[in-house]
Structure formats: structure tokens, C-alpha cells
Amino acid sequence: MTLAYFDCFSGISGDMILGALVDAGLPLAELQAALDGLHVPGIQLSEETVKRGAFRGALVRVKTEERGHPHRHLANILRILEAADLPAAARSDASRIFQRLAEAEASAHGVAVEKIHFHEVGALDSIADIVGAAWGIRRLGLDAIHVSPINLGSGFVTGAQALLFAVVIVLGIVDAVAAVETELWFHNIVFLPAMLFSSTTLRY
């Protein structure tokens, strides 16, 4: 059995997941080719080895030619995914992630899912994060994924919408939140592994 474990002691973000997958053996060139299949020009990946404290790791950056954060509705993103050259499983996973994000935001704002428009999460770099992670998890052929309680830290993040923490609570996927008095990595797919499957032990 091939098992992956996401230890989210310091939060989690899109580039952290992509870096972890590449460090675990996912070829960057194949990941780039998968994102090229979105038929959205200007998405470019780069990789470098970095050190954080005593540990080394792979840092994967996503660069796009997009300026600002266009407001994309769920339907806009689903159309991109439907037209993409992606394996069916990866397309389904990515679509399900965006669907659950839209449902969470709709619940938080008290509006219909169709009325939700994504800000940061709708940007091309965020779409690349989510699609790349969904594709990479499938490409590595994982039999099971385990996720630790996600440490959200504390404080506020200034964004175009309400606090992202509220979205996580609405989804009900956080098992434990440690009392860490600092801001940790908290981004568009802070809860991607849990959204794909369940909150702690993930199988497909």
C-alpha cells in the first residue's frame, strides 16, 4: 500500500502541497504538462530546493500572466475543467473541490451557490494549485491519504472576502485547532486533502 500523510503542524497551502508531491517523486515536467491541458495560457511552474530551519524541501511556484484577481463564478471554473485535457478522476476531484468551496461560501454569505463569485480562489494560480494537487495525488497512485488536524494559527488575513477561517468551519472538516499565537500558512486549499475525501483517514 502506498500511503501519504499530510502533517499540517504549520498549516498548509497550495504551493506546499505541490512542493510535497514533487518532493515525493512527482515529475515537475509532467505536472506542467497536466496544467497545460487546462488550455489557459501563461501558467508556468518552477521548482527550487529550500531550507526551513534544519529541513530541506521542494518549493514549487506557480506564475501566471494574469493581473489582479478576476471574479470567476463556479460555472466559469467548471467550464475550464470540462474543456481541459485531464484524466476523468483528476477533473472530478478538482470539480468537487470547487463545488464544496462554493457551497461553503454560499452558506457563509447566505446566498445561492450560483451567486457566489470567487476572488483569490478564482485566480489562475489558485486554479493551478487545486488542479495540480488533484492531478498529482492521482498520478502518484496513492492508496490512502492521512491528514493531521490542520493547525490554523490565529490572527486575521486581509482578503477580498470574509475570513477564510469561517469557510473551514462551515465545511466542518477541522478536527482540532491548536492555540498557536501566530499566523500560519492558510490559503486556497488549506483543506484540499480533507475536501477530496474525509477529515483524517482518506481512502479511494
Residues above pLDDT 70, as percent of the chain = 71
Question: Between β-strands 72-73 and 144-147, what pairing exists: parallel, antiparallel or unpaired?
Answer: unpaired
Alpha-carbon span 39 to 86, nearest angstrom: 11
Write down the pTM of the prediction.
Answer: 0.79
Domain range list for the chain: 3-203
pLDDT single digits (tens) 24-79:
999 999 999 999 999 998 999 999 999 988 989 999 999 998 887 677 889 999 99
Helices (H) then strands (E): counts for the chain = 7, 9
**Dihedral sign (CA 82, 88, 92, 95):** negative
Q: Where are the alpha helices (DSSP H) in 37-158?
A: 74-83, 88-109, 124-139
pLDDT category, 155, cuts 50, 70, 90?
A: low
Greater confidence, 55 or 169?
A: 55
